A and B are shown apart, each in its own frame.
Chain A
Amino acid sequence: MQEFAEKLYAPGGALEGAHPWLISVAVMLGGCLIVFLFAAHIAGIYSWFERRFAGRIQSRVGPNRVGPQGFAQWAVDGLKTFQKEDLIPEGADSALFKLAPYVAFAGMFCVFAALPFSSSWVIADFNVAMVYIFAVASVEAIGILLAGWASNSKWSFYGGMRSAAQIISYEIPVGIATLAMVIAAGSLSLQEIVRDQGVNPLDWNLFYSPFAAVAFLCFFTGAIAEINRAPFDLPEAESELVAGFATEYSGLRFLFFFFAEWANIYVISAIATCVFFGGWQVPGLPTERLIQFGAPITYGFLTLTMLGAGAMGWWIAAARDDKGLRGGTGNSVAATIISLALGWGPAITAGVLLWAALMFGVPPGIQKFMANVVQMLCLFAKAHILVVLVIQLRWTLPRLRIDQLMMLCWKYLTPAAFIAVLGNAFWMTYVAPDSIFQKLVRLALFAGFVTLLVIFAMRVARNLRQTRSAVDLKLNV
């Protein structure tokens, strides 16, 4: 971002002569706005995804009324909360009560500033990114503690206290586990840690040494606890503390807490991806290669957009609601406008652009842009797998008790994280990066990882076989 701003006000740049400081701030704010929109959509879409996913797990349907597969549910839910009454309980500390959700939200959002989206897309690529992330992530604890304290409710108070104890404790194993990988990469910058890992899955940090795998387990378990997700959702604990720190909240403020929660799932998954799974590195395709392939990627992207938007337009135009009305709106003019705006319009635009690209070639700037897009999608795909894991854990496991939670942190995770750091330090000192031993270890760990995945898939298949009885229960006859 800073480089982009420098380019703008440098001699020969688009805004030559403008005040450098002003341009930098404007560019940063612009970047923040983009990331805010990104975070909002991520949080919303994951809230919908989680509800659908949980529905599948629990033999029910989940939201399916608004949009295809209920996809627009998150948007209408968000809009609905806007109109809800903003209640402030009697005796609450009004100022702190109002402030708390935004503090919690800010803690989550600030992390985005240091998250690298691709080889050149990162809001602030600074050399202490890991330290910064842990610093701002714990701001969320302050927000929740404030909410618990200011609500003037004992249940909220319990939630806030639990949250503070939990987040502060779990920061230690999480921080130390990441340190193991910081040692290996030799940098605190997240972008550097990603660059340090090669393009191939074998070069990912996860397979660096056996200690790296331990570090990943510590990091991921601890990170789930840090964002208060089940099985560590004690601060909310709906069966014990009503709704924990969020008990007294309503409307937009409530929304902000949950905005932060769902965006946090993506945040921890993205950090885990960057530190252990090669971040935005596209397997087999280094950045230079991707830029070389910029033109074909552009063609492919435009073709996909054309087909996708066309299908969307077709779906909207052809969709009928229960009463047989077009587009579910009951108004065929509106349905036509929507299908034009969301489907046919973009499809035609993409088609024209594709034609232009094929006729006149793709400019180098666009080629670089498209390479970044591919890297971002790759990061997103990797992170998405971890998000699915987080969601699956939530809908499978019961909640821990507070003493068990603390025991897990201090008796198991923290020592394990220390072992991971020491182990990785020794590994760095005594195992040469290009030695045959290192390569064998990587291969063995990779094979072990794949075996684990296969065993998991086999167990899932076995469970499915065992439970699916031969009897088809026709429930509604």
Chain B
Amino acid sequence: MSVASVSSSGEEMLLNMGPQHPSTHGVLRFILRTDGEVISAVEPDIGFLHRSIEKIAEIVTFEQFMPYTDRVDYLAAMNANHAWARAVEEIAHIEVPRRAQVIRVITDELNRIISHLLGGVGALAMDLGAVTPFLHAIRERETVNDIIESLCGARLTYNYVRIGGVWYDLPRNFADRTLEFLDHFEPALDEFDRLAGQNKIFKERLAGVGVVSAKDAIAHGLVGPNLRASGVKYDLRRNMPYSIYPELEFDIPVGQGILGTVGDCYDRYWVRIQEMRESVKILRQAFKMLPDDKTIKAKLPSVLKPPAGEIYVAVEAPRGEMGWYLVTNGGPKAHRGRVRTGSYAAMSAIRFISRGLMIADLVACIAAFDTIAPEVDR
């Protein structure tokens, strides 16, 4: 490790943050070189949660691999499912029925809301020492979990999307329950923002901390809300349109530098809050677009053998672009699968922004980047 090998003058201390540390969001390890509270260097040491998911993609069939994608990002399993399904559909030229497309958008956006609630803003508030906003976020998430449970029976690793469609149709009262939740959620989100985001201490803690300029963000390959917080208007739902997103009306929130600097931790928080509001808009529209045709899955051969070729397909997951680079050889299994995730890119950004920060700021940065360990390691 480069940090550890720097010769110490005796003024600095080497500090291991993790793998067991409350705010590294899973088993991550950071090696810090600190002078008192001030950090002079950080080395993220990743790999503790490596599960060879990409290797598994080569040894199971395309359909069998679907449950594994849940584990790539367990806070947003729907989006991860969707990414894999789209990659295979694109390479095998499968036409997905309209109803399944709409259902996928509904589940994606529901999942985006709860992922942002838990990882993006809830855990951020908790890492700043405010436990109550986190539990309020969890409370709202619980309702969505119940709704999704009624859809697919699972509350975390859904395994709901299928290649060529989705698993089950929506249950009878699904739309009513979801819309009821949205009516409740909008004021609840405002309350959350008043409790956490408008708090003086919260703002002071995040303003001007961990600034990533637009140039740096692109250079480090940041994606999703982290990239948009730096002022780059780039969202795959608009820039690489898929599913029914082109037909939907929604805005792409971009970091405004509300507290002075564009691309600081507060902008990342703010962008996520706005994104949840946009997701609510999308959900309301999507329910109106549900077709009456009940077909939810395309007719597929019993053993799917896409033609040989290679493809890169990505979706906009809560932690940014989640893309699969897929190489096929005409057989029932992938020749090579490679997933590109948002948290991994954020890890490289943490390394350069954390110089000169305090330990408490580093914790805020990790949380504001919304990194989760399974996405980093796979």
Contact = CB atoms under 8 A, between A and B. Distances in A.
A and B co-occur in one complex = yes
Interface of A: 54, 57-60, 154, 158, 230-231, 233-234, 237-242, 395-404, 463, 466-467, 469, 471, 473, 475-476
Nearest to B185: A469
A32 B334 CA distance: 76
B360 A469 contact: no
Interface of B: 13, 15-16, 21-23, 37, 125-132, 135-136, 139, 142-143, 146, 180-181, 183-184, 187-188, 190-191, 194-196, 199, 201-202, 204-205, 358-361, 363
Given A239-B363, A473-B180, A402 B126 contact: no
A240 B23 contact: yes
B23 A397 contact: no
B242 to A, nearest CB: 32
A395 B181 contact: no
A398 B201 contact: yes
B358 A239 contact: no
B201 A397 contact: yes
A1 to B, nearest CB: 41
Nearest to B32: A154
Given A60-B135, A240-B360, A463-B191, 16 more contacts: A154-B16, A231-B129, A231-B201, A233-B129, A239-B127, A239-B363, A240-B23, A398-B128, A398-B199, A399-B360, A400-B204, A401-B358, A401-B361, A467-B188, A469-B187, A471-B180
Contact of A400 (B181, B188, B201): B201
B201 A473 contact: no
A333 to B, nearest CB: 42
Contacts of A238: 22
A239 B134 CA distance: 13
Contacts of A475: 142-143, 146
A239 B204 contact: no
Q: Which 7 A-B pairs have the closest CB atoms?
A: A399-B129, A398-B128, A58-B135, A398-B130, A469-B184, A239-B23, A239-B127
Nearest to B196: A398
Contacts of B16: 154
Contact of B37 (A231, A402, A467, A471): A402
Contacts of A231: 129, 201
Contacts of B13: 154
B195 A396 contact: yes
Contacts of A242: 21-22
Contacts of B201: 231, 397-400, 404
A463 B23 CA distance: 31
Contacts of B361: 401
A471 B188 CA distance: 12
A233 B37 CA distance: 16
Contacts of A239: 22-23, 126-129, 363
B22 A398 contact: no
